[in-house]
Structure 1
Amino acid sequence: MIRHLVLFKLNEGVERDDPRVVEGVEAFRSLDGKIPEIRFWECAWNISDRPIAYDFAINSAFDDADALRRYVEHPEHQAGVGLWREFATWVIADYAF
């Protein structure tokens, strides 16, 4: 199994209630069930207020690297990524478990 973690940081001046952010969050929340390669899916706003904290996180799992690649290339995932590019940056970690 491959764990796929993504941490998002909203750009300076962008708030959680910004309509673009609301649309981006919904785009990612809706992926579970749309992309068959997803084995585990959760995403949520970070509750920490520490200055080094990121704002939003995705924690997901896939059977193998090929399944993860198919997910990354899937049009629904790419549509969500396109939305988030407008208002955030992110870091990713993928590891086998």
Structure 2
Amino acid sequence: MIRHLVLFKLNEGVERDDPRVVAGVQAFEKLGGEIPELRFWECGWNVSERPIAYDYAINSAVEDPDALQRYLDHPAHQAGVGLWREFATWVIADYPF
């Protein structure tokens, strides 16, 4: 199995209630039920207010590197990423477990 973690940081001046952010969150919340390669899916807002904290996180898992690539290429994933590009930056980590 491969864990796929993504941490998102909203761009300067962008708030959680921005309509673009709301649409992006809704798109990601649906992915767990739309992409068959996903074996585990959760996402949510960070509750920490520490200055180094990111704002939003995705924690997911897939079977293997091929499944990860199919997930990344999936149209629903690409659509969600396209929304988030407008208002956030992110970092990822993919590791076996």
TM over 0.5: yes
Q: Distance in 1 between matches of 2:6 and 2:32?
A: 15
| Higher helix residue share | 2
Instruction: Return 5+ residue gaps in structure 2 as ranges.
Output: none
Q: CA deviation at 1:67?
A: 0.2
Q: Distance in 2 between matches of 1:24 and 1:75?
A: 14
The equivalences for 1:42-81 within 5 A come to: 42-81=42-81
Q: Establish whether residue 84 from structure 1 lines up as the match of residue 84 from structure 2.
A: yes
Deviation (angstroms), 1:29: 0.3
User: 1:3, 1:81 → 2: CA distance?
Assistant: 18
> Helix, strand or coil: the match of 2:42?
strand
Aligned CA RMSD, in angstroms, stands at 0.3
Q: 1:67-97: CA deviations, max 9, x gaps?
A: 0000000000000000000000000000000
- The separation in 2 between residues aligned to 1:81 and 1:71, in whole angstroms, is 12
TM-score normalised over the length of structure 1: 0.99
Residue-by-residue CA offset, 1:29-62 (whole Å, 9 max, x unaligned): 0001110000000000000000000000000000
SS at match of 2:81: helix
Runs (4 or more) in structure 1 with deviation over 6 Å come to none
What TM-score does the superposition give when structure 2 sets the normalisation length? 0.99
1:37 aligns with 2:33: no
> What count of residue pairs does the alignment treat as equivalent?
97
Cα distance in structure 2, aligned partners of 1:88 and 1:52: 15
